[in-house]
Amino acid sequence: MKTIVGIDLGTTYSLVAILQDGVPVILPNALGELLTPSAVSASDDGTILVGAPARARATTHPTATAMAFKRDMGTDRKLHLGSRAMTPQELSSLVLGALKRDAEATLGRAVDEAVITVPAYFGDAQRQATRDAAAIAGLHVERIINEPTAAALAYGLHQRHRELRAVVLDLGGGTFDVTVLEIIEGVIEIQASAGDARLGGDDFDEALANLVADRVKAAHQVDLRGDPHAWARLRAAAETAKKRLSSDACATVALVDVLRTQEKRLLSVEETITRTEAEEAWAPLLARLAGPIRRAIRDAKVAPQAIEEILLVGGSTRMPCVARLTAQTFGKLPLRKLPPDEAVAMGAAVQAALKGGDAAVEDLVVTDVAPFSLGIETSVPFAQQRAEGIFSPILERGTVIPASRVQRYSTVAEGQRMIHVKVYQGEHSLCADNQLLGDYKVTGIPSAPAGQESIDVRFTYDINGILEVETTVVSTGKKAALVVERTPGRMSKEEVEVARRIMARLKFHPREALPNVTALARADALFVELSGSDRTLLAGAIGTFRATLEGQREPEITAAREKLLSLVLSVRRSE
């Protein structure tokens, strides 16, 4: 049987999993860790670092490190690692390639196929870009599945003999999704999805960092946001403070020698933030969470009180304010029956097993819905004129997929021989407020009076969220089709092959060296935060480890690495 893995390609962390003996299992990376940071960094000699060592360099080498690039999937944006510019697809492909190698090392066999998760509110361009990233990494995508749907699969695997209606709230590092589902006799029916593709834990980190930056600016007339290194350190400290505030009433953000002032004085920062103060800073973000929740419930046509269970997934749902918002909305406490960071990957493994024909899940069925409306630009008569740029939905959000829908339109001008089909996704009445997915022209329409010639426009939306548009001139039967793929950020087959060759030429640290690279990166990141005796002690351990690496004697390297990591851990705990 072919091996298909499930991959959660996350904004902050990514995971790879497989179903073994009917149970989803997260596969460890080269460091023995289950979570691989979605981070890429370039060292001074051009070597590419992926995962933990790259994330550790984010505070020491922010301009040579890229994170949160998932948010830019499907766009033309390029991110810079020093002098090297890379697309979000290329960066994502490096993470996927690392997961692929980790899975192969653990399973002892080649892995060429995967089910990959994306936020439910990812549009067509972002889904296509995810496929491109996988292709560059040498992976064939068996299925693109929505993240909350994947979490529902993992949840439903153990609930298949129950009948209940539930809501999955998925708040990760960069995205937020809400899914209403019903489980009946092993069938998981997705009834509605909503979300925000640019709202996640990173935004809560930034809000906390801005709170501290504003205090520092008021007290010292220095803006930490103006220096990349200072801001990177503050963001990392804010993330740590956010995690502490999940269990503690207050947290301290302390940065030693974070910035040199205009007076050439080194500035250190120590600010204490209470949970109440943090939640006040997060109020606008919490309000944004409430919108998709209400929309999903409304689309599913259920009352909040009719929801029997609320499942929280995604690391950011650990924040008490998120659980409190959920309890206030539904009138009951949410559940964490699955590990929040692992639930989506576990569900991807279940879907991979379904695709592979695993007998352990043969009685499990899942349906999904389109998370947004799809349609075209039209004009409508208004008095003696026509209003242009009006959005005409053809496939409404909430439609069970795969689906195919057709609508008939007519020419609007005397002797019109051509129509320009512009395809949009969104929920606004004006196309200008929605997202353009693609466009093409249909020519050869017979000349006739306005309104006499009809054109059928059919939208076909598959289970991977890929859209095909077909137009038919009714009087002649002439057809034209568009698979929406040349949207911004979408790569042609030739471009994918070029990217694969470029990625293959990049210089990577060998797999066996990754623990050493990671240990040094983590130690260096801690070193910049310390002062006094702790810093002197750590400097000695770093120097000893570097000297041991030069000797290339594996037992001594392992011992020095463990000693260094033990020191890093003990200093972290004492902070």
Q: Could you give the residue numbers annotated as active site?
A: 8, 70, 147, 170
Q: How far apart are CA 313 and CA 170, in angstroms?
A: 5
3-state secondary structure 317-360: HHCHHHHHHHHHHHCCCCECCCCCCCHHHHHHHHHHHHHHCCHH
Give the angle subtended at the CA of 558 by the CAs of 556 and 564, to the nearest 5°: 100
Distance of CA 135 to the CA centre of its chain: 18
3-class state of residue 286 by DSSP = helix
Q: How far apart are CA 345 and CA 35, in angstroms?
A: 10
Q: How far apart are CA 57 and CA 189, in angstroms?
A: 43
Q: What's the token pair of residue 274?
A: 């209470």
Give kind and range of the element (H or E) at residue 569: helix 554-574
Among the listed residues 407, 388, 391, the one whose alpha carbon sits nearest the alpha carbon of residue 472: 407
Among the listed residues 386, 403, 385, the one whose alpha carbon sits nearest the alpha carbon of residue 394: 403
Question: Phi, psi at residue 217, to the nearest 5°?
Answer: -65, -40
Cα-Cα-Cα-Cα torsion 106, 109, 111, 117, nearest 10 degrees, comes to -30
Buried b (16+ CB within 10 A) or exposed e, 170-209: bbbbbbbbbbbbbbeebebbbbbbbbbbebbbbbbbbbbb
Taking the alpha carbons of 269, 272, 276, 277 in that order, is the dihedral positive or negative?
negative
DSSP summary character for residue 306? G
Buried b (16+ CB within 10 A) or exposed e, 512-532: eebbbbbbbbbbbbbbebbee
- 318 with 175: CB under 8 angstroms? no
Give the angle subtended at the CA of 174 by the CAs of 571 and 517, to the nearest 5°: 40
Among the listed residues 53, 182, 35, 97, the one whose alpha carbon sits nearest the alpha carbon of residue 503: 97
Give kind and range of the element (H or E) at residue 500: helix 493-505
Q: How far apart are CA 574 and CA 538, in angstroms?
A: 14
Distance of CA 164 to the CA centre of its chain: 28
Q: How far apart are CA 237 and CA 235, in angstroms?
A: 5
